Amino acid sequence: MTVGNVSWDHETDVLVFGSGVAGFSTAIFARKRGLDVLVCEKMPVVGGTTATSGGFAWVPNTLQSKAGGAVDSVENARTYLRHELGEYYRADLVDAFLEAGPEAMATLQDGTDVAFDYVKWPDYHADQVGGVSAGRTHEPRRFDGRLLGKDFELLRPPIRRLMLLGGMSIDKRKVDDFLNPFKSVRGFLRVLGAFGRYALDRTRYSRGTDIGAGNALVARLFLTLRKLQGGLWVSAPLVELISEEGRVVGAVVEHEGRRKRVRARQGVVLATGGFPHNAKMREELGPRHPHDRSVGWEANVGEGINAARRIGGAIDHAVCGPGLWQPSSVLRHPDGSEETILYGYLDRGKPGIIAVDAHGRRFVNESNSYHDIGEAMFRNGVAQGNHFHFICERKFVWKRGLGLIRPFRLSLAPYVKSGYIAMDDTLEGLARKIGVDPAGLLETVRKHNDYARTGVDLEFRRGTNPFNSILLGDPACKPNPNLAPITQGPFVALRMYPSTLGTAIGLAANGHSQVLDASQQPIPGLYACGQDMSHVMRGFYPGGGINIGPAIVFAFVAVRHIGTGQAAQPAAQAAEPAAVA
């Protein structure tokens, strides 16, 4: 909307849309610069997709990683990304990310409640040029939700199926204790303590307050924003942007039952989470990657992107794919509704499970990242049939779980009855039940078992890169920690569908996070970060945390640019050519 003389209902320096890591980080950076800020979240709870994520942040060369002994440099990370992204490499975005990354992470945590710990995770392709086996991934510390007081109920909960007893948060750091409670006295006491704490929490709160992963990250950001006295409106969706003489000066926001005009004296930042649940936009912006499922938040339907487009903002199409892939299973409820179940971390990539197409053939290294498996579905035509199957033994499910099935389930009959899994005493019988070629499946399993015996996967080199072996391998499996034979029935199959963690295509932006128009010029006063901005990784997935890390960094560079008071970036410094429309 373009308005000459606007009557404003509210004024602030920086107006932010979205309360995930990108939006909250923007607000914190703005407050630390002394700017007034208002965060508008369209839902009645805060956190977006971040609140149900793992919370990891991929940022090279930070103070934490250096203190942890990581050997890395900006140039080494740049080399890695240049090889990972290939022809899609955008030097202006990569340089902005790598050069501002360490300062952004330090600033976010300096004097705040936000806290990350360096974790020794390998890059997803650590065996490639510039890759490292440890040094670039950071994990948020667990958090005591009671510190939020009544605001705790404004925090979007983790995925309910990933919580115990309907409300106990169990992340990667606690799962070993709960799977093996009698392994040690200390472990047993930790489990008892967790149950006791949870029982007390439920007398005052709707769920447990000992939280981890992305939920802890959002809680820490939320508490910091409150302490810095930043403004927050919930149930406050963006209606439209307001521009004046080509500059974005504010927005119309639905709040408290009416539309309010909010003036942004310094800038508007869009961080509404992309469009994973907007079918029309998925078809428009990703026609070669048809899918209809996502584990991103259902509320993320692209209103930030579309608001920018209505005033001339362009889409940056120069990405290798529209989504960040996460193969998912589907639970069909008796009432006909369906629930998308994300690819779990207890079972994924572990020895003793393979992925097969309709011909019964493997098409991917099953111990690679979730994104790599999803991308392989499209690359090999598997997604045209809209699914593949994981195949394993019943013993595998007992030990590691499968999809939504947790380990140590005495009976799988309810999951078979619901159609969630198929099970049979023979591989031939299982193949017929799931519509896979029996001869193809038998031959595939025979070859896989040979690979498990020799330790060498001749087709996909499973277990040969650090990500496979360090994060998803089982040291007890010899000679290859990622390979175990599939020989003893009953055998189990789980159907998997292409889905996304979120979107990778979005608004065209430069290295200051400024939204660009069709001529690649900045729109004064308008910025984007998170998944509203076309991803710096261009649809690739180099390491764990490449959503949250860049979201933090581009929030930082946006506020840094806003703080300079510049109306627009000089044309001579405009972004590199990109496919925009």
C-alpha of 11 from chain center: 33
Higher pLDDT, 3 or 286: 286
**CATH number, position 134:** 3.50.50.60
Together in a domain, 531 and 486: no
User: Tell me, what's the pLDDT at 574?
Assistant: 39
Examine the pLDDT at 163 and tell me if it is beyond 70: no
Q: Are residues 474 and 337 in the same domain?
A: yes
Cα separation, 397 vs 70, whole angstroms: 36
Q: How many CB atoms lie within 10 A of CB 415?
A: 21
Residue 197 has pLDDT above 80, yes or no: no
Instruction: Based on the fold, state whether residues 489 and 357 are members of the same structural domain.
Output: yes
CA distance 320 to 168: 38
Helices (H) and strands (E) in the chain, counts: 16, 25
Q: Which domain holds residue 191?
A: 161-213
What pLDDT does 385 receive?
76
Taking 3-state DSSP, the helix, strand and coil percentages for the chain, each rounded to the nearest 5, stand at 35, 20, 45
The answer to whether residues 315 and 458 belong to one domain is no
| Listed residue (393, 388, 408) closest to 350, CA to CA | 393
Task: Give the angle 232-238-241 at the CA atoms, nearest 5°.
Answer: 115
Strands 210-211 and 10-17: unpaired
Q: Which two tokens stand for residue 99?
A: 């050069």
Q: Are 268 and 239 in contact (CB under 8 A)?
A: no
Say if residue 179 is in the same domain as residue 279.
no
Q: What are phi and psi of 211, to 5 degrees?
A: -120, 155
CATH of the domain at 486: 3.90.700.10
**The pLDDT of residue 570 is above 50:** no
Give the Cβ contact number of residue 287 at 10 Å: 9
Separation of first and last alpha carbons in the chain? 20
The SS3 assignment for 63 reads helix
Tokens for 20? 């995930």
- Using an 8 Å Cβ cutoff, are 251 and 242 in contact? yes
Strands 137-140 and 57-58 come out as: antiparallel
How many domains is the chain built from? 3
Task: Kindly state whether residue 145 falls inside one of the protein's structural domains.
Answer: no
What number is the average pLDDT over the span 104-126? 96
Label residue 168 by pLDDT band (50, 70, 90).
Answer: low
Over the chain, what is the mean pLDDT?
92
Q: Which residues on adjacent β-strands are paired with residue 500?
A: 294, 325
Is residue 290 assigned to a domain?
yes
Q: How confident is the model at residue 172 (pLDDT cuts 50, 70, 90)?
A: low
Greatest Cα-to-Cα distance within the chain, rounded to the nearest angstrom: 76
- 203 and 270 together in one domain: no
Q: Read off the pTM.
A: 0.92
Cα distances (angstroms) measured from residue 411 to each of 40, 332, 399, 423, 492: 47, 19, 13, 12, 13
Mean pLDDT value across residues 394-405: 95
Q: Is 538 helix (H, G, I), strand (E, B) or coil?
A: coil
Half-sphere exposure of 514 (CA within 13 A, CB side): 27
The span from the CA of 221 to the CA of 112, in Å, is 8
- Final residue of a domain: which of 498, 518, 541? 498
Q: Which amino acid is at 13?
A: D
Residue 571: which pLDDT band, with cuts at 50, 70 and 90?
Answer: very low
Whether 105 is in a domain gets the answer: yes
Least confident of 26-30, 289-293, 341-345: 341-345
